[in-house]
Amino acid sequence: MTTACPFETEIDDSVISNFDHEIVQSIAERLKVEEAFSRYPGWNFNGRVWWDRTTGTWKCEVWCYGVPREVVDAPDLQTIHREVCDRYGYE
C-alpha cells in the first residue's frame, strides 16, 4: 500500500496514545526537527503522525486493517487526537 507520509524513518515510540490519551511532547518536538514519523495506535486504527513543514500543520494518516483511510490535519496534536478519536474511537 502507498502512504501519504513523506518520511520513511519511524521514531520508535508513539507520539499519541489512546491507552492513556497522552501526547508525548518530547516526541512531538523531535518530529518538528527530524524527517520522521511516529505512530498513533488505537484499537481499530493505527495512525502515522508527522509535522508538515510546508503547511505548518500536523498530519495523521489513519490506517484501518492495513488500508489507508484518510489524512487528518490540524494545527496541534490535541486536535488530531480529538478528530481521529471522534471518527475511529477512543479505545
Kindly list the domain boundaries of the chain, sorted by start residue.
Answer: 10-75
CA distance 55 to 90: 27
Q: What is the pTM of this model?
A: 0.94
Residue with cell 487528518: 72
Per-residue pLDDT of the chain (91 residues; tens, 9 = 90+): 689 999 999 999 999 998 888 999 999 999 999 999 999 999 999 999 999 999 999 999 999 999 999 999 999 999 999 999 999 998 8
- Which parts of the chain are beta strand (E)? 10-14, 37-41, 46-52, 57-64, 67-74
Backbone angles phi, psi at 40, to 5 degrees: -135, 90
